[in-house]
Amino acid sequence: MSFQIPPPQPQYSKLSFPTPHILLVTLSRPKDLNCINSTGHAELHAIWEWLDEEPSLRVGIITGEGRAFCAGADLKEWNSTTQSNAKRSPMPSSGFGGLSRRTGKKPVIAAVNGLALGGGCEMITNTDIVIASEKAFFGFPEVARGVVAWAGALPRIVRTVGRQRAMEMVLTGRRVPVVEAEKWGFVNEVVAGGAKEAVDRAVAVAQQIAANSPDSVIVSREGVKLGWEGIGAEEGTRLLIESWEKKLNTGENIKEGLRAFVEKRKPQWVESKL
């Protein structure tokens, strides 16, 4: 594929493009259960920045290689710096894996193929859609290691699963099976099988999103985020209109979408300039 902006060349992740407009990021440290070290955080931050900046891309997917989605932080690296009192490399502003505090404009789907613990679960908490294999499970085991889920999940997970369930997850550190996570609303859909099936389903959902107006997807996502982040409905609506209505209404995609409806044909979207 050709891009206007050259893609990053990460060491610890693999980039692929299963269909037009869709980026698949595969965490690739299978022997280490895809735990992420300081270099990996910086790489992933750059990847998600590229997703937002590259006009031809509309949706991102993240998954893991092997039997894990992500086991969290590289505790060996963390232990090494802690025992020596060395300064740790700062995490990017976008958080764990460039996702747990990300505010980017394009949607990211998690295709969870196995265990998702600690920082791996923090990333999922801030993705837009979660497709999980029947082999997946989730947890915040930080309390058993004397650490804390600092990367943004704590104030976010409560908005998704509620106070009592969130407290149970983060205070006990127990592993939550995928069926239970689906009942809680933490997972959108559980698919039979493993990594391939989870990714295939995530790609299918991403294709549904990518078939829509890129402008409308960006603005609609912003509207949902405003509510999820705790802004009242009327205040969120006001901010959404003030920030995005003029940009959307002066773009080419709204004209094309309405024209295509009147002409009873499929829209031919142009890349978003938002």
- Which pLDDT does position 186 carry in this prediction? 97
Residues 134 and 231 in one domain: no
14-58: per-residue pLDDT in tens? Answer: 999 999 999 999 999 999 999 999 999 999 999 999 999 999 999
Residues 148 and 220 in one domain: no
Contact present, 261 and 216 (Cβ < 8 Å): no
Residues 185 and 202 in one domain: yes
Answer whether residue 84 is part of any domain.
yes
Answer whether residue 75 is part of any domain.
yes
- Which pLDDT does position 82 carry in this prediction? 61
Answer whether residue 244 is part of any domain.
yes
C-alpha–C-alpha distance, residues 21 and 161, integer Å? 31
Among all residues, which ones are annotated catalytic? 73, 119, 122, 142
Residues 146 and 54 in one domain: yes
Domain stop point among 210, 226, 250: 210
78-130: per-residue pLDDT in tens? Answer: 666 666 566 667 789 999 999 999 999 999 999 999 999 999 999 999 999 99
Residues 119 and 218 in one domain: no
pTM of the model: 0.94
C-alpha–C-alpha distance, residues 111 and 130, integer Å? 6
Contact present, 224 and 262 (Cβ < 8 Å): no
Answer whether residue 5 is part of any domain.
no
Say which CATH number the domain at 145 has: 3.90.226.10
Number of CB atoms found within 10 A of residue 261's CB:
10
Answer whether residue 268 is part of any domain.
no
204-260: per-residue pLDDT in tens? Answer: 999 999 999 999 999 999 999 999 988 888 999 999 999 999 999 999 999 999 999
Domain housing 111: 13-210
